[in-house]
Structure 1
């Protein structure tokens, strides 16, 4: 552009145009000057005022968001590791639960017979034995009723503004207290207020016929432990209700091997270790002695029918753990043949989240060693699981093929296991549960469970190796999430600045375009 133009570069467009039109010179020279100026600014205006702002901002956003990639990769890594450890913890917990069942419900499992006067249920700790039981009385709840009233809605209290009704149940020391206003002393209102407390008493108004109603209070606790005592601070209400016993509380009475025993409930779980009795009805009288009740035999017998299914479940859970661990440590070699010159191979996307985790490698190694270990100290018949027909199975992989399954899974020879359980059940039990102070498979694995899962007695769960690893990963993930938020804020702030700059540029282009049109019109007028 001629040096002349630089003199008024800072002037507004309209003043620039007026300046050029009013320069005293020959018409031909003035026309050439304006033409040169129009050509100069037209070259810049090739951009035009219709700038694709959305497209420009989208491209800029795409570029800026690349800053998030390192943090997003960390986020995916942390979440993948957290998920993997969660699955491994679940697999270990299943193994632990299974071995506990094998002890409680398998080798030490019992069953009970069927009885008429009571129903017995055997649980943990029950041992094979036989008992003579007779039911003399069933426990019943205390019931109190009011005097008969001719209305369920008539007020029965005095004119006092309020009064208190108190119900003591047994020796709990926590009485049920109800505050009754002057208009809340009818049978219906009293029952409603008592039930609203949701305590150990049920209140209802029973209809005995036309204009015959009674308030009935029933203890939720049976036997003498549920005996009720009702008092009120309103003598008028007390007299009108006239509460008295409908059914006295009664304890259950049973005879165990000839010994008389009382309990407040018909559900008795503290009489025979590991056995719960549900009393159903009073026993028949003894035909030889009508003063006595005829006892029934409660037979608690050994029942190891669940042993095999629980051993099968153990093998299934162990193989499931190995499968989970294999997935978490999977490694796929990069395809170097597809790399260009100078390109560096990157880790495969399907690599396991815990590929290089030392804690997982130790856990898997120790678990395999425990399961395939020797337990000669427990017995001379079955020193290893292999002796029972539970052997390690290795996947056969042909040359050039990749392994698809977990390494070292267990398989069962059912014929061999059935024979072992039939001929030497106690020796099988010793292998799993130990004997004479010597640890079996369960005992050794409990050490691993304590170390990696944590135990409420030996080691708090939060101090277990897995929970410790998870706590660290969650902390890292939390810090990384804050960094992601910070970068996202900076990106948005940058984009807002860019958007304003594009808007100013667009406005400037529009102004220059308008000025160009004015100059061209002026030039046309000079012709």
Structure 2
């Protein structure tokens, strides 16, 4: 690049001059790039905020679109000692008096007592089954003991119904089989077939019952209910009981009531999320007089369009079992600022007395508030939706600016190189002229009779 600092011939700061000229040429363009890119990044951030708050609001709507949010029940028990209970949407409000007579129990059977758990018991085949399940076979070699047979039973891929263990009592060890299923329908069967000499295997596997199988028995409002397990899921419509202890002399009261708190909480979450979304849109598009700053999306038609559509849906009337209703009918009103507020007393009364109407308003398929609002929001926030398209467009604009920066840097590098060549060429000419001047001055000074200036 030649001379790049103070010019030898001219005494000029060539590097400083070139830098100043290059900066003067590029500064305006770089500043415009910075301003434009800053605005685009702010808009990208705003789009992200908008999508996030809309998605959160849409999630709250998903809860309000479910009928069980409004028709849900809750259950309580007078005591947790004998049973627990859960309910689903089909449960009917009421009280039930329950006495637990007997818990379900699985059967256990034991082999004959062996001399010890590690001695061979005889060669053959064991066929083991539980209730109506598919039996499985265990091949016993002439070296197998109770311990190894136990391992084969527990390790069999075909065994899903029994567990085997060895219990060493006062008379000696026994192999004990226990059913994994409770109830009188799940009895254990064992058939031993000898294939070697003697009858050792069949003699040992002469099974005796150690623990009988039992069904669970409960009395619900005087009605006897029998179950193979301690789970009674169909005894009371919509109520599942889990029996934990038995005492026929003790009564547990199970009470099923409407869960109005769940409905109210879902509506409160909906209002809170709506207000948060609308506040975010206002912040993105408005002007703050205190800070004297405009929102990053001020003048953008997208957020204003969303805001307008949401308000239009909320102010609509919806068909219910009692006719045409609006949110205001149930104590959910719009403020002057365009936000929602709840009249808690009116909402509670509406949930208690007009449950079917408020359910219809929110949950009716295709025409309910939650469904219509969700569909509208989904067109914006779904993958590949309107907001994603806007975000992609902004990203592309930022990318083009970055490409322009690269192109500008290349042009400025070429411009800088050209300037250095020009100034260095000038410096060489000045250096040559200075040299000639010095030589001429020296020769003139050497002429006879010339009087030098001091």
Calculate the TM-score normalised by the size of structure 2. 0.60
1:388-403 matches, cutoff 5 A? 388-394=330-336
Inter-CA distance 87–150: structure 2 relative to 1 (3 Å threshold): farther
Match of 1:447 in 2: 371
Alpha-carbon offset, residue 310 of structure 1: 4.6
Alpha-carbon offset, residue 358 of structure 1: 8.4
State how far apart, in whole Å, the 1-side matches of 2:239 and 2:304 are. Answer: 46
Match of 2:271 among 315, 319, 325: 315
- 1:464-514 per-position Cα deviation (integer Å, ceiling 9, x unaligned): 764355886899999999x99xx9xx99xx9xxxxxxxxxxxxxxxxxxxx
Match of 1:144 in 2: 109
Number of residue-to-residue matches in the alignment: 404
Match of 1:411 among 341, 344, 369: 341
1:40-439 matches, cutoff 5 A? 81=47, 84-98=50-64, 100=66, 104=68, 109-114=73-78, 118-131=83-96, 133-152=98-117, 154-156=118-120, 167-173=128-134, 185-187=145-147, 190-191=150-151, 194=154, 200-201=160-161, 203=163, 205-209=165-169, 212-224=172-184, 226-230=186-190, 235=195, 238-239=201-202, 241-242=204-205, 244=207, 245-256=209-220, 260-282=224-246, 284=248, 298-302=254-258, 304=260, 308-323=264-279, 325-326=281-282, 350-351=296-297, 356=302, 360-361=306-307, 364-370=310-316, 373=317, 378=322, 383-394=325-336, 407-414=337-344, 417=347, 420=349, 425-426=352-353, 428-434=354-360
Which secondary structure state, in structure 2, belongs to the residue aligned with residue 432 of structure 1?
A: helix
Specify every segment of 5 or more residues in structure 2 that has no aligned partner in the other structure, as ranges. Answer: 1-7, 10-28, 411-454
Inter-CA distance 143–376: structure 2 relative to 1 (3 Å threshold): closer
Inter-CA distance 302–71: structure 2 relative to 1 (3 Å threshold): closer
Which secondary structure state, in structure 1, belongs to the residue aligned with residue 340 of structure 2?
A: strand
State how far apart, in whole Å, the 1-side matches of 2:174 and 2:302 are. Answer: 77
Alpha-carbon offset, residue 262 of structure 1: 3.2
State how far apart, in whole Å, the 1-side matches of 2:159 and 2:114 are. Answer: 25
- 1:233-288 per-position Cα deviation (integer Å, ceiling 9, x unaligned): 76567436416232233332445566554322111112222101122344537xxx
State how far apart, in whole Å, the 1-side matches of 2:284 and 2:111 are. Answer: 71
RMSD: 6.4
Which secondary structure state, in structure 2, belongs to the residue aligned with residue 278 of structure 1?
A: strand
Calculate the TM-score normalised by the size of structure 1. 0.53
Specify every segment of 5 or more residues in structure 1 that has no aligned partner in the other structure, as ranges. Answer: 1-41, 44-62, 286-293, 337-346, 395-406, 435-439, 455-463, 495-527
State how far apart, in whole Å, the 2-side matches of 1:430 and 1:319 are. Answer: 26
Larger relative contact order (Cα-Cα within 8 Å, sequence gap ≥ 6): 2
Q: Is the 8 A contact 1:225 1:264 kept in 2?
A: yes
